[in-house]
Structure 1
């Protein structure tokens, strides 16, 4: 199974007046997703399935990717990608998707959840990972074999020119 982790794009700063879950993408964040979509189109990186956190900034990131990347499926919002998702929960859901024929899964979510999940899949420490906003990180994982994940690549949005 190919798994592509897309951290949400740049969002509004934390504020006492607004709940963390209600922070929207900034203009910079919108531009990041458009750049990411153009990069994906040029490199024929089209999600087979797209899942996202129910948090506004992740939904906006997924919706913009769908809008600007031809062939990108609409995102399915799922609680197992919400802020604070435990790595083992994400892994369990990915295993279920793999068992049901999922081959190319894209996830839109948050830090440090993604670093922790990726680290668990790679059998390493999350301290060695840096998942930037609007970045793509791709793994190949065989859930039938323990410790069989391979990091294929990780690319920050700033290099998607």
Structure 2
């Protein structure tokens, strides 16, 4: 089985003159990312590898998670910034099969589009919520009954968790 964590970066500042790539987390975003890290730790949910957008808000989201989870290998990949769902799917299909649980930390709309495309099963209300919106700081956990990442396919994921920052408040 393969587990895929999709985490949209937490809420960021919108400061005049600051490039989108360099936007830092806002205080509510820092709090939400820390709460998500605590949630993962409390539920013993831990990725084997994190692939993270190098945009500042995504990196800071990952740092808050790691403060709760401890050491997890992290790779910052430039193309994750504003990646499409198809690009993200290609990336996860290239993941080493020794990785059982992969986390992608990235951005809308690619991350949301990927989550909706992959989630075929799960509790109805959670699926409906996911299809409607992937808020900043939200986590999607999908399980796939495959042994190889290259076999992950649209509609084959079971939605195990859809957690929004407001669910943790």
Correspondent of 2:161 among 142, 147, 153: 153
Residue in 1 aligned with 2:124? Answer: none
RMSD, matched Cα? 2.2
8 A contact 1:3–1:104 mirrored in 2 = yes
Using the TM superposition, give the Cα deviation of residue 158 of structure 1 relative to its aligned residue in structure 2, in angstroms: 1.7
Q: Could you give the per-residue CA deviations for residues 73-111 of structure 1, whole angstroms, max 9, x where no partner exists?
A: 14210123112x1211111111111x5322100111111
8 A contact 1:119–1:129 mirrored in 2: no
Map of 2:57 onto structure 1 = 57
Deviation at 1:48? 1.2
TM-score by length of 2: 0.82
- Note the C-alpha offset of 1:117: 1.2
Q: Which residue of 2 aligns with 1:129?
A: 132
Partner residue, 2:89 = 91
Deviations 1:102-139 (A, max 9, x none): 21001111111111112222379xx9331111111011
Q: Aligned partners of 2:35 and 2:66: how far apart in 1?
A: 13
Shift, 1:19, TM fit: 0.7
- The CA distance in 2 between the partners of 1:80 and 1:119, in whole Å, is 20
In the TM superposition, residue 14 of structure 1 has moved relative to its aligned partner by 5.6
Find the partner of 1:116 among 113, 122, 145: 113
Does the Cα contact within 8 Å between 1:80 and 1:90 map onto a contact in 2? no
With the length of structure 1 as denominator, give the TM-score of the two structures.
0.85
TM-fit CA distance, 1:157: 1.5
Structure 1 residue runs of 5 or longer lacking an equivalent are none
Taking the aligned partners of 1:156 and 1:20, their CA distance within structure 2 comes to: 23
CA spacing shift, 1:37–1:145, aligned 2, 3 Å: closer
Partner secondary structure for residue 72 of structure 2: coil
Q: Which runs of 5+ in 2 are unaligned?
A: 121-126
Counterpart for residue 27 of structure 1: 27
What is the count of residue pairs matched by the alignment? 155
